[in-house]
Structure 1
Amino acid sequence: MTSTTPPDVAARVEAYIPRFQLTRLLNQDQAGRRISLLGTIDSKPALLIAERAAFATDNAHLSSFPTSLTKIKNLGANDIYAWFLANSNPSSTNGDVPPDFKLNLIYPCTEKHVKKYSAQGLRIVTETPSTYAKYVLPWIRSQREKGTLNWVFNIIEGRTEQEDVIYRESDPQNGFLLLPDLNWDRKTLTSLHLLGLVERRDIWSVRDLKKVDVEWLKHVREKLIGATTKLYPDVEADQLKLYVHYQPTYHHFHIHIVHVQLEAGATQSVGKALGLENIISTLESLGGGEEAGMQDVSLAYHLGEASELWEKVFGVLKEGGEPDVEGF
């Protein structure tokens, strides 16, 4: 980035930074990527806000990026997923330099992963009960039949990541477990992100929740909050936000538990996240008997234009066509 500051002014202000004397940390936000520091420069008060710079995107830098990392430390691995901490500074091999990268590795990845993480346009769709029953449910069923949930079942059945399970309540109908989300660095409490996986396999998404499940949902909510605040005493119950995704990345019901100060990116935005409290309230207010549920309401959410659900269902419907359910 080219500076437009006159050279004499640039030299003067650049000299301020090495003279900054820290007084205290004021804030840490954007999941730990930005810090606000209070200090002094030549005995006068000063604020220094530091944010990690954007990645260089030229091919030369990107090609050398993996080999430039040092002190790579694995945090966990399950099936095709693994996550790490690493340093970008070559000199960090000596001394106690904290990691400045959180890495997620998917290997071998699928075309679905490639589409998910590619830049793409977004569309808002409204999924009616009939659209869900006729098109979306068969698509969800086809996804589960492809075996994409092996990593989830590995955790639930005790084959992997058991050292990460911080709470478990085992029961075929009511059981669930709690573990860190792979996107959390496991140390910054204001960016805390945990995952609650239910043991029962008849709930694939929020669409499968019914009025009969309300008390179960309340029980799970209380247990998840209780386990989180016990494990992290500096976090109080009213500092936690619980939500589910629709559409979720994988179709086995799970609940996200995050610190309320975790900055809301795309995964917490309207059109992706549904608050657990709102889901419970919706179920309680539905007419009909205990079998009435979220399959009876319309849901609006966003889809990437490269997503399979847009390409095979909603994009086809928009053009006036008929989705090929047999081709899912």
Structure 2
Amino acid sequence: MVNPDLLYLVEETAQIYNEVALPLIHEMTSNLDDQPKYKWMFEAVKRQVPLDMIIYDDSCPTNGFILLPDRAWDGTDKNIYLLAIVNQKGIKSLRDLNQTHLPLLENILWSGSEIMEEKYGLKRSQLRIYFHYHPTYYHLHVHFNPLNYDAPDVSKDGAIQKEDFDLAIKSICKARGYQEGTPSYGQVSDAFLKVWEGLRQQGDADGDDEVDRNEWVTLWTSGGASESWKKLYMDFMFKLFDADDDGSISGEEFVMITGAFGVPKDEAVSAFKKISNDGKVEVSKDSYGKLWEEFFTSDDPSKPGNNIFGKLW
């Protein structure tokens, strides 16, 4: 039996792909045009997007593509994130590629790299140009971002999805020593999924069951997040950090939980020094509430609240 608390690296052979993965992919992609998740992507392929969004446009139906800002881009120079979406339909992932697609791939590589240098001053040696596999969207696309790009979601695909919360539940419970099926595991899972459901209902503007960076920023800057949901979210996170339930968050507790989210220990230690003023201020629920408000409303990166999750994204 597979242990759900462990990570596994699976080598997907051609046989596994054909017998296991491909039937599932066919099932998921049988009618993409009717799936809300793909609406924005196919609007891009049809050029039904604002002209100022288009970074580069090659209309060739076979070897062409459109280059757009990825929805995960927060607009900063450090986190430049572009997506090259091919015009040709029917190429679901890199598994479908063969030698006939070399002109398409070369066009994306060279034209995309040229645009990145012309527009953003980034040479090809400074870029990460890649596919996700398995991809979030089964219509071929290529990611462009700087080597120092830093993404905020747990699963690292540029948007917050239920899967990110599922991963967080497993990581947190593993850090706390909670076994699946126990009341403690169930309490963490229930609370996390309530937070996700509130986020989905209030932040998922386009109904694709994920919250991208733009939707996330809009949620917090437009007043779309309800006070009851914000309190639910904050109360849960404080309780999660306060492992010994003594009413305050210690440095050890902070490092343990942020570590479960993938934050390196040295960064977590540095962040805790900032939120606790080098240990001079107790991180009680009241002070955590003020830090929480800073994190979601302050434009000043130096504010201590911007470190409550271990690092400022």
Return the TM-score normalized by structure 1.
Answer: 0.42
Question: Larger % of helix: which?
Answer: 2
Return the TM-score normalized by structure 2.
Answer: 0.44
Indicate the structure whose relative CO is greater, using CA pairs within 8 Å and at least 6 residues apart.
1
Question: Larger % of strand: which?
Answer: 1
Which of the pair has more CA radius of gyration?
1
